Amino acid sequence: MSLLSKNAGFRRVVIDHVSPQVDGGRNPFKRVLGDWITFKAHAFADSHDLLIVELRLRLHGESEWQIIPMRELGNDEFEATFETREIGLYEYEIAGVIDHYGSWYEGFKKKHAEGLPIDLECRIGAELLEHIANRAPKKEAERFREWAAHLGDSNANIDTRVSLAYSRHVAGMARAYPQREWETCSARSLMLVERELAAFSSWYEYFPRSCADDGVTHGTFKDAAKRLPEVQRMGFNIVYFPPINPIGREFRKGKNNTLTPSPEDVGSPWAIGAKEGGHKSILPELGTLEDFQWFLSEAGNHGAEVALDIAFQCAPDHPWVKEHPQWFRWRPDGTVQYAENPPKKYQDILPINFESDDWENLWEELKSVFEYWIGVGVKVFRVDNPHTKSMEFWRWCILNIKAKHPEVLFLAEAFTRPKRKYFLAKGGFTHGYTYFTWRNTATELQQYVEELTTGEAKDYFWPNFWPNTPDILHEDLQTGNRATYIGRYLLAATLSSNIGIYGPSYELLDHVPYPGKEENNNSEKYQLKAWNWDEPGNIKNEIARINWIRNSHSAFQRTFNVQFIPCSNTHIIAYLKQNFDHTDRFIVVVNMDWEHKQVGTLELPMEELKLASDGQLRLRDLFSDDQKEYTWQGPTAYLELSPNANQAHILEIIG
Amino acid sequence: MSLLSKNAGFRRVVIDHVSPQVDGGRNPFKRVLGDWITFKAHAFADSHDLLIVELRLRLHGESEWQIIPMRELGNDEFEATFETREIGLYEYEIAGVIDHYGSWYEGFKKKHAEGLPIDLECRIGAELLEHIANRAPKKEAERFREWAAHLGDSNANIDTRVSLAYSRHVAGMARAYPQREWETCSARSLMLVERELAAFSSWYEYFPRSCADDGVTHGTFKDAAKRLPEVQRMGFNIVYFPPINPIGREFRKGKNNTLTPSPEDVGSPWAIGAKEGGHKSILPELGTLEDFQWFLSEAGNHGAEVALDIAFQCAPDHPWVKEHPQWFRWRPDGTVQYAENPPKKYQDILPINFESDDWENLWEELKSVFEYWIGVGVKVFRVDNPHTKSMEFWRWCILNIKAKHPEVLFLAEAFTRPKRKYFLAKGGFTHGYTYFTWRNTATELQQYVEELTTGEAKDYFWPNFWPNTPDILHEDLQTGNRATYIGRYLLAATLSSNIGIYGPSYELLDHVPYPGKEENNNSEKYQLKAWNWDEPGNIKNEIARINWIRNSHSAFQRTFNVQFIPCSNTHIIAYLKQNFDHTDRFIVVVNMDWEHKQVGTLELPMEELKLASDGQLRLRDLFSDDQKEYTWQGPTAYLELSPNANQAHILEIIG
């Protein structure tokens, strides 16, 4: 249809500026179960006629709409509020239509008040009621016809006709049957309502194969389960495993990513697939499918869900390579180019060719990988490097899964440029990894968090802050001390409601890098490790305390409720976190100089705190051993923060 | 298609955030002939492949696209600039596709520099060149095949193969033939490029029927032509007539809008249609079609185009009422309800029913009214109350006319709520009337102009400022003095590049209202008037001077180039106007207290003026009789402005 075609003129209502809405409705905005969502739109017509504007929602795939009338705010703006009571992928639309009888009703009242002749007006109203009778269901139709007959009868008593005309009941009934074929409707739009875990999660990543603890014996799911009590004590609610699939033998990597493995080398879990199977199989050394399902239930008993790592790539001996050679890009010498993510090279991994002519089968097979594990009982997925696969594939794959399994969460491991990260989020990824790891000064971090929490992406991009991962040991951690590790975790955990660490590397301060790289030396990615899980100097208690604060205070269970507090010293970062009804409020202050004491003065946001400019604030530092209390006299507060004593405060506002 | 359908995965490029763009491209944004337009978009794909992103434009209805490559700005943002050389309704789109050979070329250079084995890489490049050969036209195809053969020949000299691989020429040629069937394209979008008169116009409205000058004889086009030299001397470039169609006799209005006309009463020109004809006929008393065409040419000789008033409504004796009764809304008593625009009542006018089943014929007939007058030679239309007719009708009607006759301008007389005004502008109306008339303090006026010039609507809504109209004699004018009339015109003319007055009422200070109304007494809308066009005290010379400044200075020929200057006295409004390259710069100051002298101090925008904070500014007041010069020493300037001496300055910055 040309942009200049006729759009039927009797559709007299214009619907415009629908919000919230992402990409004209094609992609979903996100909210959490229990949220109240305010929908808005502009709606207007020519003339002074009244409008009926309504919001319609339904879970994708349902046939019945839930209809919510929108109220007029003036200036042609309309609004409706929807309380989310069920998670899922929703469709919604906003429709407007003229209320002919209501418009007549308002005009009638004015004309009658002016003392104008009224018989003809009544007869016009009667005609409108007859039209409504033709549209209404049988039972109502009869009543409309009776009303019409009386209202339109010039020989009847004019007083009873006038009271019928004045009837709010009749006008209200009539509003239910406007001329719907003349309505204007916004684009069909998507919305995702997520479960609480999507808004608030603490991930703990570890390698089950290292859980035999001697660095030689291959760990199993049974071994991994032994770590669960400690993970629970530290307060995490998701345990996340690197891929548990069979590991390729061709071009297998040796320790420290070398190209010359010895026979006992275990290879990288991301080199997926071997003769034992591919993405729907389990590495036999870890255990059986039953063992894995047992682990799922054990984790549940310890308050955690299990996240699996899905990496759509193949070792050269993955069954797909033989069964579906058309899914790979073959070179003139009959080989497939291995994966690269410059400067990284993955000689043990073949990328999938999304330009394959057989893309539809490929897509279905990839989606079925998630569906397989969902069938096994997994509800959380971390997806490896999604930004190196077709963007439209992800949107289709994830939204279709969410439509059937709205409880399933997806974390995008996309350390890439912002617009790709945002597109993946629009395509349905619940969380995205962020640049938190590389924001190492108070100014940088504040700027970044403000971009995430106030930019247009906040309707769909939910950040997940990770101080470390098996791929990233930031220079600040390499050269850092205990205060660095505590401080970076505390920042992540109090700024973002979704966070994770790669342990036990993190809590044991495993800071030695592979020379010249941003990665751990002797990384578990390529070998078994013998961790001393109770190594002296570890920060498990500090992590446990921070997570206890998060778990017991709703102020930290959302990300977009942060307000930064100016401080005179740029080494100190400070922010206010408040829950939705301001019954749970915190001021967090952190000295980001991990080596030296810093002093500074905060300018307190007295207005936001609803205090007079010299008002008093009582605070309790939940992060301190003695739960120390302070009284601050506004509008400023003086701080002294030392790395080895009180590097940070997590101050609950108690009065 | 469901929102969850597959969008082919080999379309790996995402195109997003296209700008400028209105309503996702469905409605046009506007620019003026000669403007350089910068188009932007986000474009990205999975992987590190290079992209080819291009802007395509064409006049609506043409088959060939003009293609402009977009350059990458970094961070996945692309940009292209288009110089407008032809007015018209354009379509544009932004498309992106992977540059497979270019991506290979960049990879090859790196791999060669690293000293990696290169034969296989060359063979991969050769395969890509072969694919390109299959897509290229015959002549180029042969060359691509030759290159492919050499590059892929493992037996050939490796040095010449490598230099072929390094060839920027080959890579550049290859860019012309990407895999177009895999491209991603934005929504087809509209853009209007208007002629200069759309950006800069000075309208003079008068009633030709009053031009016989005795209040009794009906004026003709010949009489109206006698006013043209004076209109030209005052510096207007559009003369605008109220409707020139036959005027209905049924329910004709008498003087001062009374319902009891005497036989000699001429009625309202907006009560269109009688036995002599309707919207395509001329009131015989004004002259013939030939007379009107002669007037068009006379106006042209005096530097003005003629605007006709199109009012889609009918007197009860309009031929359409009998010929097309289905275009009207009939009441049970066999009459049609007359038009109302509360509190105004138009007993002599029947509205058209846009809910008619016969809407398609109705639309065609209405559009043909414009087409008829365009055929006669009219290129400018003022449209009466468009907001009381179907919004979608206007969009269809105007955009289709603009597609064929891009030189035609439309002014929407829509004194209605903002969102309707904006929608009419999006539907193609060149100008819209504004609330200027009701913004009577410096603060109100500044706020309003800032809303118009910086809000999102500036891409499509072009304001037209009218200090008065035959329908609106604002209380400030009713009670105002000479300074009020001069001041209000000066404000309109220096704030907005498009302006108009209803004369000679305005320049003769015809300030007597019909009691209790915002309208002139004994209005020309209902009777002939005998004006003394040279009445003492008139402000024709002041208007002429203001228009002379506008006509000779490009700073005043655009609306969106205004920057307000803070003043210590809220009675004084001050603003900077600069043309696009800052070669024409003005500071305008106006005392908006029309009765008393006011003094105040300006805070000059020294940075915007590119001056040091104590820099000097030389100015010449083009509005003063003696073209007085001033030297201001920044950063402030002291002003004294008196209503009867120097109520305003129009200060050209001369150094």
pLDDT, tens digit, 9 for 90 and up, residues B137-195: 999 999 999 999 999 999 999 999 999 999 999 999 999 999 999 999 999 999 999 99
At residue B646, φ and ψ (nearest 5 deg) are: -130, 75
Residues on chain A touching B356 (C-beta within 8 angstroms): 10
Query: What are B41's strand-pairing partners?
Result: B78
pTM: 0.94
CA distance A231 to A54: 48
pLDDT for residue A410: 98
The CA-based dihedral angle spanning residues A210, A215, A217, A220, taken in that order and rounded to the nearest 10 degrees = -10
pLDDT for residue A91: 97
pLDDT for residue B343: 75
The CA-based dihedral angle spanning residues A640, A646, A652, A654, taken in that order and rounded to the nearest 10 degrees = -70
Predicted confidence (pLDDT) per residue in B193-208, tens digit: 999 999 999 999 999 9
Residues on chain A touching B7 (C-beta within 8 angstroms): 392, 395-396
Cβ B576 vs Cβ B449: under 8 Å: no
Q: Is B17 left (phi over 0), alpha (psi -120 to 50) or beta?
A: left
pLDDT for residue A516: 93
pLDDT for residue A231: 98
End-to-end CA distance of chain B: 63
CB contact under 8 A, B387 and A46: yes
pLDDT for residue B4: 83
Shortest CA distance from B5: residue in chain A: A396
DSSP E strands in B277-406: the ranges are 305-310, 313-314, 339-341, 344-346, 350-351, 380-384
pLDDT for residue A92: 98
For tokens 């397989």, name the residue.
A372
CA A486 to chain centre: 26
Helical pair B359-376 and B391-404, crossing angle rounded to 10 deg? 40
The CA-based dihedral angle spanning residues A554, A557, A563, A568, taken in that order and rounded to the nearest 10 degrees = 90
CA distance A29 to B527: 60
Predicted confidence (pLDDT) per residue in B282-331, tens digit: 999 999 999 999 999 999 999 999 999 999 999 999 999 999 999 999 99
Cβ B206 vs Cβ B531: under 8 Å: no
Cβ A649 vs Cβ A549: under 8 Å: no
How many angstroms away from the CA of A586 is the closest CA of chain B? 36
CA distance B136 to B143: 10
At residue B465, φ and ψ (nearest 5 deg) are: -95, 125
SS3 sequence of A248-295:
CCCCCCCHHHCCCCCCCCCCCCCCECECCECCCCCCHHHCCHHHHHHH
For tokens 């010359």, name the residue.
A260
Closest CB to B331 among A91, A120, A403: A120
CB contact under 8 A, A392 and B9: yes
CA distance B457 to B439: 19
Sheet hosting strand A585-591, strand order edge to edge? A562-564, A572-578, A585-591, A648-653, A616-621, A629-633
Within 8 A by CB and 6+ apart from B445, the residues are B436, B439, B491, B495, B573, B592
pLDDT for residue B1: 55
CA distance B578 to B226: 37
Q: Residue A632, exposed/middle/buried by CB under 10 A (0-12, 13-18, 19+)?
A: buried
Cβ A29 vs Cβ B410: under 8 Å: no
Computed over every residue of chain B, the mean pLDDT equals: 96
Sheet hosting strand B36-45, strand order edge to edge? B13-19, B36-45, B77-83, B71-74
CA distance A585 to A29: 27
pLDDT for residue A343: 75
Question: Which pair of tokens denotes residue B13?
Answer: 């490029």
**Pairing assessment for the beta strands B598-603 and B636-641 based on DSSP bridges:** antiparallel
Predicted confidence (pLDDT) per residue in B568-608, tens digit: 999 999 999 999 999 999 999 999 999 999 999 999 999 99
Shortest CA distance from B41: residue in chain A: A419
Mapping DSSP to helix (H, G, I), strand (E, B) and coil, where does residue A17 land?
strand
ipTM of this complex: 0.92
**Which one is catalytic: B99, B413, B524, B621?**
B413
Question: Which residue positions in chain A have pLDDT lower than 50?
Answer: none
User: Is residue B342's pLDDT more than 80?
Assistant: no
Question: Which pair of tokens denotes residue A408?
Answer: 């399933």
At residue A245, φ and ψ (nearest 5 deg) are: -80, 165
CA distance B482 to B467: 13
CA distance B355 to A49: 13
Handedness of CA A291, A294, A296, A299 (dihedral sign): negative
Mapping DSSP to helix (H, G, I), strand (E, B) and coil, where does residue A514 land?
coil
For chains A and B, CB pairs below 8 A equal 165
Question: Which pair of tokens denotes residue A1?
Answer: 């249809």
Query: pLDDT band for position B613 (50/70/90)?
Result: confident
Within 29-48 of A, beta carbons closer than 8 Å to B belong to: 42, 44-48
Query: pLDDT band for position B332 (50/70/90)?
Result: very high
CA distance A289 to A282: 7
Residues on chain B touching A391 (C-beta within 8 angstroms): 12, 14, 45-46
Tell me which residue of B200, B132, B125, B198 sits closest to B166, measured CA to CA. Answer: B125
User: Is residue B10's pLDDT more than 90?
Assistant: no
How many angstroms away from the CA of B333 is the closest CA of chain A? 7
pLDDT for residue B644: 84
Hey, is the C-beta of A7 within 8 angstroms of any chain B C-beta?
yes
Question: Is B230 noted as a catalytic residue in this protein?
Answer: no
CA distance B598 to B501: 27
